[in-house]
Chain A
Amino acid sequence: MKELTVISGKGGTGKTSVTASIASLAEKRVVIDADVDAANLFLTLEHNLIETEQFQGGYKAEINPELCIGCKECFKRCQFDAIFEEITENIIPKLSKQKDEQIRDNRISPKFAIDPIACEGCGVCVHFCPTGAISFERQICGEKYISITANGPMVHARLGIAEENSGLLVSQLRQRAREMAKEQKIPLIITDGPPGIGCPVIASISNADALLIVTEPALSAIHDMKRVIKLGRQMNAAIYVCINKADLNKEISENIKEFCFDNNIKFAGEIPFDRAVVESMKMGKALVTYSDGAASKAVKEVWENVRLFMGDTMERVF
């Protein structure tokens, strides 16, 4: 079984469009959408959802205001500025009417609360709270899906809004995809990676056999591509490059090809700018199934090259 991950560094170069096309061209494969916080592959690959599972992310702390005595222990220790003082003025009038003076005094002392978005889930406040007022639960951060598409399963997910642990989610999707590939004897896993070089990207490319970098002829895209190549090399993956919208700046496209040649990176091809790309997206179809135009032909060629290149990498045991 071999694993190919499609990445770019810079966003919007056309990773997902290219992935949808090669996932439609590869005869038998598992495809993963690892861009979990802005997943798009499902929009352009016809599919049938067959399985949904909750995704449990990290832990979050929460203060029970009934038990909080306002000692500031948590506030002083939090390294993430997640704990803040809550204004209690609106509960004072009610409590001051109560006879029990002690309760009232207790309630007037400042209370603390935790901003769940800023909480890192380190549990330090939980450990040091003298009254055990802080609960610590694992959070449901999203959903994982398995769908059926024409050439094999699609493993995708939706990370909750403003949730973290995207790297963990990506690792779980890839683990699931490997299990399915093994069970169903599928020889190839294609992953649509997220932009950037951070945690979900590292999770998308660790242990991948090869990376297909989709870049575009722009200085910013080259800058980003170089950083992602450096990361790919750190992770020991074979690296191939293709240029999307190559004709928007032919001079820069030539420079990219030269760069690949000088750095011993296999060049998989150029895809011209073509309105059919957006039209196919609007129809919810992969470019190669929707159109037979210039871009579609070019993507087919890119896939042929990638297949040839991948033939050189070793077949893995697992």
Chain B
Amino acid sequence: MKVAVSSSGTNLESPLDPRFGRASYFLIIDTDTLAFEVKVNDQNMNLPQGAGIQAGKIVANCGVDCLITGNCGPKAYNVLQSAGVRVVTGVNGNVKEVVERFKNKEFEYSQGPNVDGHWV
């Protein structure tokens, strides 16, 4: 299974970035082999608005089944949902640990966004 994790660094030891739209990186991880690919989210860091939408699109285009992050706003959630990507929110810890916990089925999929939009 392929999952995306919002990350503040480029390796599995990095802490999860609780921000989704303005996360520094996304790690696209194969949960079986722990092989991963790094997606830089730099264009969104400074985007005047719509970072969540753009980030949602990046993650959706990677063909992942699930996104694990801290906070996911309504617009990003909409994007991910229509691309068929499930979302886990409210998570922290380092990326490797988070993936292990995901494999152990410790998380539940979110039924909706867990924060309001940024409105900018």
Contacts and interface: CB of A to CB of B under 8 A. Distances in A.
Any A–B CB pair closer than 8 Å: yes
Interface of A: 56-59, 138, 165, 167-168, 170-171, 175, 199, 202-203, 206-207, 235-236, 317-318
B18 interface: yes
A317 B120 contact: no
A317 B90 contact: yes
A207 B116 contact: yes
Contacts of A170: 120
Contacts of A165: 48, 120
A182 to B, nearest CB: 9
A318 B120 contact: no
Contacts of B90: 317
A203 B118 contact: yes
8 contacts: A56-B46, A58-B48, A165-B120, A168-B49, A170-B120, A203-B120, A206-B116, A235-B116
B70 A171 contact: no
4 tightest CB-CB pairs across the interface, nearest first?
A206-B116, A168-B120, A202-B119, A167-B120
B110 interface: no
A197 B56 CA distance: 28
A57 B48 contact: yes
A317 B48 contact: no
Contacts of B115: 206-207
A122 to B, nearest CB: 12
Given A59-B48, A168-B49, A318-B70, 14 more contacts: A56-B46, A57-B48, A165-B48, A167-B119, A168-B48, A171-B119, A175-B19, A175-B22, A203-B118, A206-B119, A207-B116, A236-B116, A318-B71, A318-B92
A56 B46 CA distance: 9
B117 interface: yes
Contacts of A175: 19, 22
Contacts of B117: 206
Interface string B32-66: 00000000000000101100000000000000000
A206 B118 contact: yes
B26 to A, nearest CB: 18
A246 B18 CA distance: 43
A170 B115 CA distance: 17
Contacts of B22: 175
Nearest to A58: B48
A167 B49 CA distance: 10
A131 B116 CA distance: 42
Contacts of B49: 168
Nearest to B92: A317
Contacts of B71: 318
Contacts of A207: 115-116
Contacts of B70: 317-318
B110 to A, nearest CB: 13
Contacts of B92: 317-318
A199 B119 contact: yes
Nearest to A170: B120
A180 to B, nearest CB: 15
Contacts of A206: 115-119
Contacts of A317: 18, 70, 90, 92
Which residue of B46, B49, B71, B119 has the most chain A CB atoms within 10 A of its CB atom? B119
A142 to B, nearest CB: 13
A168 B50 CA distance: 11
